[in-house]
């Protein structure tokens, strides 16, 4: 089995978290997701039965396949997933269909011997999803369970107690995925994602206070001790494990010398933020080999949150984004056609709410956020209300005319997807963004999903404590306000008063405390008693070396030239000059 490793989460606040922990959500397996598949696609299970559904009402099952039907003959369906990478948490997400004349028999979902869910229905419960024409119904359930798990194998079982064979009743499964949250790459086993949560160490490493150290000269990478980091990785600041750089040659053809960013991506990759991605997010449209990053359209814009961009994010990424979800139907994520959604068909719907709160946001004047949302099935002038800091700022609505293709859910209604983004003036330290669904029918009639979520904050310029898009109103301590900006020190021709830089009088080159108190002069002016004069007073000469009035150096001489001139003293108040000096 090949693990598809990927960094699902790219964002500033969480990027810090991820690069600190170096642990990530890894998709272990994804099965029975195709609309059609055969027994040959069933790998590692103790059964191979595949059913072609007869009904045509639901896109996923309409003449599509499911793994099943399993009944009396197969009381124990199971697969053992082996060689899981070191991890501390595991999640299983699967759609379970109770088929036809199930009459209170039970289907249990069992992980490593523990039953986490039991499904049960009456033969008339549900709707016609897969079964052939009959007076009975099918019921679809969405299993999602997240457990603490460290073992390198998982035994996934579906046990049942049917008394008829699979032409009459039973269950089938679709859209199965297994994910783990991996350990820090320096551990062999762990209790959590951090570097100091190791429970055992890889080859010859030593464990101390939860952290593993490789033998001298060794460095940890991918749960092993190596002599050096492989290409595309470099030692972390403590020289104990390898971190991915932005210089992986398969993705980046030109990176900066310390690997902190890529300036030219390899073919098939597009520059986004500091690295290279295979596909630009929809809010950052591709242009040439770069994604047009909206955070860069303003001088101090940056992501506060960015996620749900991949096609296999799971519960771990949703949790890491800090999204609080309520009233989702059984699970929190699903698929619509080829994309992964938070919510999804039959899962996000009536009463669902998505809430995200942020605290301690640095001074800013604007917040921009957005996502893609999927209209699934019978929306009739419905969608969701968008709240910012408890104020409703928008209502997103679509109706059935907006449906374009049948992407997922029910075949009776066409579906569609849209980009939503909003820019709001905002400056408080905390921010709450909330989406409240406005549907009036249940999850099976109308549902929604979102993906590609971002929140960009337009921060005040450095040193500025309060601003709008044009100017700074107040600077932090240690900073002075200069025009529209905050600076450490005022410009040469400014003086600081009450932390504001003011222009000096135009005659001064620099000044202090007041505009008129010059401390140096521009050329053509000469400093005398903190004024910049055009002409120096008696007994001083225009010193153009430093633009100051310098004292005549020879005797009492009201009008002199700079010392060194052949006749320095030019006028002795009417008295006769003797040897370039004025008589005493
Ligand atoms: C399980 O849930 C916890 C808490 O929400 C989360 O931190 C973790 O990432 C989840 N694990 C998986 C594999 O989804
Ligand atoms: C199952 O996966 C298919 C293909 O990705 C998708 O169209 C369908 O909507 C999924 N079902 C659910 C309930 O997510
Ligand atoms: C939004 O939805 C939540 C959960 O359904 C509900 O408790 C809350 O009252 C709703 N908020 C508004 C403003 O409608
Ligand atoms: C769901 O749609 C069906 C078919 O249009 C309709 O009969 C039923 O009343 C709807 N359910 C709800 C809860 O509105
Ligand atoms: C000083 O400069 C002013 C203006 O250029 C000039 O009028 C004056 O004569 C100069 N004085 C001396 C002593 O050179
Ligand atoms: C020298 O000083 C006298 C009196 O102060 C003045 O009348 C005269 O014009 C001055 N001469 C020159 C060349 O500046
Ligand atoms: Ca549909
Ligand atoms: Ca409706």
Q: 169-213 pLDDT, tens per residue? A: 999 999 999 999 999 999 999 999 999 999 999 988 899 999 999
Atom 9 of ligand 3: nearest residue by CA position:
436
Q: Is 526 in the pocket of ligand 5 (CB under 6 A)?
A: no
Query: Which range is least confidently modeled, 88-97, 152-161, 238-247, 330-339?
Result: 238-247
Ligand 6 atom closest to residue 559's alpha carbon, by position in its atom list: 14
Mean pLDDT of all residues in 247-267: 90
Atom 12 of ligand 4: nearest residue by CA position:
441
Measured between alpha carbons, how far is 263 from 247 in angstroms, rounded to an integer?
10
Of 328, 343, 353, the residue with max ligand 3 atoms within 8 A of its CB, to mutate for a pocket test, comes to: 353
Compute the distance from residue 507 Cα to the ligand 5 centre, in Å: 16
Q: Is 149 in the pocket of ligand 1 (CB under 6 A)?
A: no
- The pLDDT confidence band at residue 567, using thresholds 50, 70 and 90, is low
For residue 405, which ligand has an atom nearest its CA? 7
Looking at the predicted structure, is the pLDDT value of residue 553 above 80?
no
Measured between alpha carbons, how far is 49 from 406 in angstroms, rounded to an integer?
28
Q: 329-359 pLDDT, tens per residue? A: 999 999 999 999 999 999 999 999 999 999 9
Of 523, 526, 535, the residue with max ligand 5 atoms within 8 A of its CB, to mutate for a pocket test, comes to: 535
Is residue 437 within 8 A of residue 350, CB to CB? The reply is yes
Per-residue pLDDT at 254: 93
Give the H/E segment covering residue 169. Answer: strand 169-182
Per-residue pLDDT at 484: 83
Q: 349-401 pLDDT, tens per residue? A: 999 999 999 999 999 999 999 999 999 999 999 999 999 999 999 999 999 98
Which residues' Cβ are closer than 6 Å to ligand 2? 33, 60, 95, 174-175, 334-337, 344-346, 408
Looking at the predicted structure, is the pLDDT value of residue 238 above 80?
yes
Ligand 5 atom closest to residue 560's alpha carbon, by position in its atom list: 13
Q: Is 21 in the pocket of ligand 1 (CB under 6 A)?
A: no
Of 436, 437, 439, 440, the residue with max ligand 3 atoms within 8 A of its CB, to mutate for a pocket test, comes to: 436
Atom 10 of ligand 3: nearest residue by CA position:
436
Exposed / middle / buried, residue 238 (Cβ in 10 Å: 0-12, 13-18, 19+): exposed
For residue 342, which ligand has an atom nearest its CA? 2
By C-alpha distance, which of 176, 154, 152, 142 is closest to 30?
176
Per-residue pLDDT at 15: 36
Q: 95-148 pLDDT, tens per residue? A: 999 999 889 899 999 999 999 999 999 999 999 999 988 899 999 999 999 999
Of 27, 35, 60, the residue with max ligand 2 atoms within 8 A of its CB, to mutate for a pocket test, comes to: 60
Percentage of the chain beyond pLDDT 70 is 92
Atom 9 of ligand 1: nearest residue by CA position:
316
Measured between alpha carbons, how far is 380 from 400 in angstroms, rounded to an integer?
6
- The pLDDT confidence band at residue 44, using thresholds 50, 70 and 90, is very high
Q: Bridge-partner residues for 109, per DSSP?
A: 117, 158
By C-alpha distance, which of 441, 440, 432, 479 is closest to 460?
479
Per-residue pLDDT at 584: 60
Token pair for 48: 């191979």
Per-residue pLDDT at 248: 87
Compute the distance from residue 443 Cα to the ligand 4 centre, in Å: 10
Q: 513-542 pLDDT, tens per residue? A: 999 999 999 989 999 999 999 988 888 888
Q: For the chain, which domains are there?
A: 25-182 (2.60.120), 193-288 (no CATH), 306-459 (2.60.120.200)
Q: Token pair 């771990």 is at which residue?
A: 316
Ligand 6 atom closest to residue 571's alpha carbon, by position in its atom list: 1
Per-residue pLDDT at 83: 96
Looking at the predicted structure, is the pLDDT value of residue 580 above 70?
no
Per-residue pLDDT at 557: 74
Per-residue pLDDT at 582: 65
Q: How far is CA 342 from each of CA 1, 61, 423, rounded to the nearest angstrom? A: 27, 21, 22
- The pLDDT confidence band at residue 6, using thresholds 50, 70 and 90, is very low
For residue 440, which ligand has an atom nearest its CA? 8
Compute the distance from residue 389 Cα to the ligand 8 centre, in Å: 27
Is residue 149 within 8 A of residue 88, CB to CB? The reply is yes
Q: Can you give the three-state secondary structure of 7-40, one letter per residue?
A: CCCCCHHHHHHHHHHCCCEEEEEEECCCCCCCHH
Per-residue pLDDT at 3: 36
Mean pLDDT of all residues in 52-71: 94
Per-residue pLDDT at 538: 83
- The pLDDT confidence band at residue 431, using thresholds 50, 70 and 90, is very high
Give the H/E segment covering residue 26. Answer: strand 25-31
Is residue 44 within 8 A of residue 129, CB to CB? The reply is no
Per-residue pLDDT at 192: 95
Looking at the predicted structure, is the pLDDT value of residue 11 above 50?
no
Ligand 3 atom closest to residue 351's alpha carbon, by position in its atom list: 5
Looking at the predicted structure, is the pLDDT value of residue 402 above 90?
no
Compute the distance from residue 25 Cα to the ligand 2 centre, in Å: 21
Which residues' Cβ are closer than 6 Å to ligand 4? 441-442, 445
Measured between alpha carbons, how far is 70 from 52 in angstroms, rounded to an integer?
13
For residue 538, which ligand has an atom nearest its CA? 5
Compute the distance from residue 145 Cα to the ligand 1 centre, in Å: 9
Ligand 5 atom closest to residue 559's alpha carbon, by position in its atom list: 13
Q: Is 538 in the pocket of ligand 5 (CB under 6 A)?
A: no
Compute the distance from residue 545 Cα to the ligand 6 centre, in Å: 26
pTM score of the predicted model: 0.85
27 vs 552, which has greater pLDDT? 27
Q: Is 559 in the pocket of ligand 6 (CB under 6 A)?
A: yes
Per-residue pLDDT at 172: 97
Evaluated on CA atoms 49, 50, 55, 61, the torsion sign reads positive
Burial 184-217 (b: 16+ CB within 10 A, else e): bbbbbbbbbbbbebbbebbeebeeeebbbbbeee
Looking at the predicted structure, is the pLDDT value of residue 22 above 70?
no
Mean pLDDT of all residues in 140-162: 97
Of 522, 528, 532, 536, the residue with max ligand 5 atoms within 8 A of its CB, to mutate for a pocket test, comes to: 536
Atom 10 of ligand 1: nearest residue by CA position:
316
Mean pLDDT of all residues in 406-423: 96
């Amino acid at each position: 089995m090949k693990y598809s490793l990927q960094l699902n989460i790219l964002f500033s606040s969480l990027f810090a978290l991820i690069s600190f922990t170096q642990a990530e959500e890894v998709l272990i397996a994804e099965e029975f997701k195709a609309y059609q598949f055969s027994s040959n696609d069933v790998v590692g299970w103790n059964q191979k039965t595949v059913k072609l559904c007869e009904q045509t009402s639901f896109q996923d099952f309409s003449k599509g396949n499911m793994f099943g039907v399993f009944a009396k003959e197969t009381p124990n369906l199971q697969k053992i997933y082996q060689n899981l990478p070191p991890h501390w948490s595991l999640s299983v997400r699967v759609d379970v269909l109770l088929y036809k004349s199930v009459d209170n028999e039970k289907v249990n979902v069992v992980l490593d011997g523990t039953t986490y869910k039991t499904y049960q229905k009456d033969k008339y419960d549900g709707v016609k999803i897969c079964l052939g024409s009959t007076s009975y119904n099918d019921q679809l359930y969405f299993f999602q369970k997240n457990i603490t798990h460290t073992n390198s194998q998982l035994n996934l079982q579906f046990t049942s107690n049917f008394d008829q064979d699979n032409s009459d009743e039973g269950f089938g499964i679709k859209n199965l995925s297994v994910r783990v949250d991996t350990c820090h790459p320096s551990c062999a086993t762990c209790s959590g994602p951090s570097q100091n949560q190791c429970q055992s160490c890889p080859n010859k490493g030593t464990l101390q206070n939860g952290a593993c150290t490789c033998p001298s000269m060794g460095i940890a990478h991918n749960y092993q001790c190596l002599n050096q980091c492989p290409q595309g990785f470099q030692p972390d600041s403590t020289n104990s494990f390898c971190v991915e750089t932005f210089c992986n040659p398969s993705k980046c053809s030109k990176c900066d010398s310390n690997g902190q960013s890529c300036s030219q991506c390899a073919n098939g990759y597009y520059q986004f933020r500091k690295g290279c991605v295979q596909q630009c997010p929809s809010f950052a449209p591709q242009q040439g080999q770069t994604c047009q990053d909206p955070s860069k359209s303003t001088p101090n814009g940056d992501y506060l949150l960015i996620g749900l961009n991949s096609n296999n994010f799971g519960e771990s990424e949703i949790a890491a984004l800090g999204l609080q979800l309520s009233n989702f139907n059984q699970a929190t994520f699903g698929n619509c056609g080829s994309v992964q959604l938070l919510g999804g068909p039959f899962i996000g719907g009536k009463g669902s709410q998505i809430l995200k709160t942020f605290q301690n946001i640095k001074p800013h004047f604007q917040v921009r956020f957005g996502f893609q949302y999927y209209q699934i099935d019978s929306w009739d002038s419905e969608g969701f209300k968008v709240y910012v800091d408890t104020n409703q700022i928008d209502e997103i609505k679509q109706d059935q005319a907006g449906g374009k293709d049948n992407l997922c859910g029910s075949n009776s209604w066409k579906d569609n997807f849209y980009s939503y983004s909003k820019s709001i003036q905002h400056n408080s330290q905390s921010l709450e963004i909330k989406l409240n669904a406005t549907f009036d029918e249940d999850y099976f009639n109308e549902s929604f999903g979102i993906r590609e979520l971002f929140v960009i904050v337009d921060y005040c310029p450095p040193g500025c404590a309060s601003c709008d898009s044009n100017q700074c109103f107040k600077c932090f301590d240690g900073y002075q306000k200069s025009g529209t900006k905050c600076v450490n020190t005022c410009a040469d021709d400014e003086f600081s008063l009450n932390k504001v830089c003011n222009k000096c009088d135009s005659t001064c080159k620099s000044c202090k405390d007041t505009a008129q108190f010059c401390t140096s002069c521009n050329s053509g002016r000469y400093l005398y008693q903190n004024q910049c004069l055009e002409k120096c007073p008696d007994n001083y000469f225009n010193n153009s070396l430093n633009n100051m009035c310098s004292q005549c150096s020879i005797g009492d001489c009201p009008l002199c030239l700079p010392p060194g001139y052949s006749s320095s003293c030019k006028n002795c108040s009417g008295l006769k000059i003797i040897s370039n000096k004025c008589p005493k």
